[in-house]
Amino acid sequence: MEIEDITIQQYVDAFNSIGITDLEKKLIVANYEFPEHIITSRQMAKYVGFAGMAAANSNYGRMAKKFCKYFDVNPRIKVKIFVNIRDLDNKGWRWILHDNVVRALEKVGWVNLQIVASNPFQDLENFKRTKEYKVLEETTRDAVVKSRLGQGVFRAKLVEIWDGCSVTGCKTIEVLRASHIKPWRSSSNSERLDPYNGLLLLPNLDMLFDVGLISFDDNGQILISSFLSKDTLKILGVHEKMMLRDIKQNHKLYLEHHRQTLFRK
């Protein structure tokens, strides 16, 4: 099995089945509780009361091996079964929890739900550290970067396709946000520029969609998270009769990804 194939429910089953110690649980909960679910081994060590990074690394790695064995994944990947790893200016490593691990921790009830919007500037900082960024042609690189900010060719194509908010039809284009359906940081460069991986939304709908508090089914009907109260929905002007004004076949794969990995039912 490949890591990217592991579903939220499979992670949930693993958390419930594998004998995880209280210390191991504390380590992965620490990873969740840090801003944007990103932590360094030094921060993790301090959080759980270790004197240095080595103990945090070894204990996190020991738990990861249990998961590798459970999923029949090469144990050499170690903590990559939980996180993406990024270099922090040669001062250590940042561990970024996979989205499906985040949702699984919420489902098993080990964490208090954190609803945090993704940070475009952090995403771009991470992207600029990759080899992928460095080898892109300048024009493509510029388009990909601007797409994360809801600008450039990506936004222009969404305006052309939707001619207003994808849900309400509001034609005040200046206030609408170009939002990726499959998150930018999880997408390939071609997906980042694909207009069918995008919606043009009013800011309230964009934020709710970004953090998984609303989604849409394959007919375009809005799906509303149980975490949103009726009072909140009323204040935000969101209701169950809302739907996408148009939906193409090419939208559906992206919408399925959003429902499976981001939507908080």
Three-state DSSP string of 165-189: CCCCCCCCHHHCEEEECCCHHHCCH
Kindly provide the b/e burial profile for residues 46-82, where b requires at least 16 CB atoms within 10 angstroms of the residue's own CB.
Answer: ebeebeebebbbebbeebbbbbbebbebeeeebbbbb
Hey, where are the domains in the chain?
3-108, 120-261
Task: Between 264 and 206, name the one with better pLDDT.
Answer: 206
Residue 13: pLDDT band with limits 50, 70, 90 = very high
Of 189, 233, 183, 184, which is closest to residue 213 (Cα–Cα)? 233
Tokens of 165: 């908010």
Q: What is the mean pLDDT of residues 196-214?
A: 94
Question: Could you say which of 2.60.120, 3.30.70, 1.10.10, 1.10.3720 is the CATH number of the domain covering 3-108?
Answer: 1.10.10
Residues 74-108: tens digit of each pLDDT: 877 778 899 887 765 555 678 888 889 998 998 89
- Residue 239 pLDDT exceeds 90: yes
Bridge partners of residue 243, in order along the sequence: 221
The partner residues of 187 in beta bridges, in order of sequence, read none
Quote the CA–CA distance of 191 and 198 in Å, as a whole number: 9
Q: Of the given ranges (134-143, 201-210, 231-240), which has the lowest mean pLDDT?
A: 134-143
Half-sphere exposure of 52 toward its Cβ, with a 13 Å CA cutoff? 1
- Tell me the per-residue pLDDT of 166-187, one tens digit each, with 9 for 90 and over: 999 999 999 999 999 998 888 8
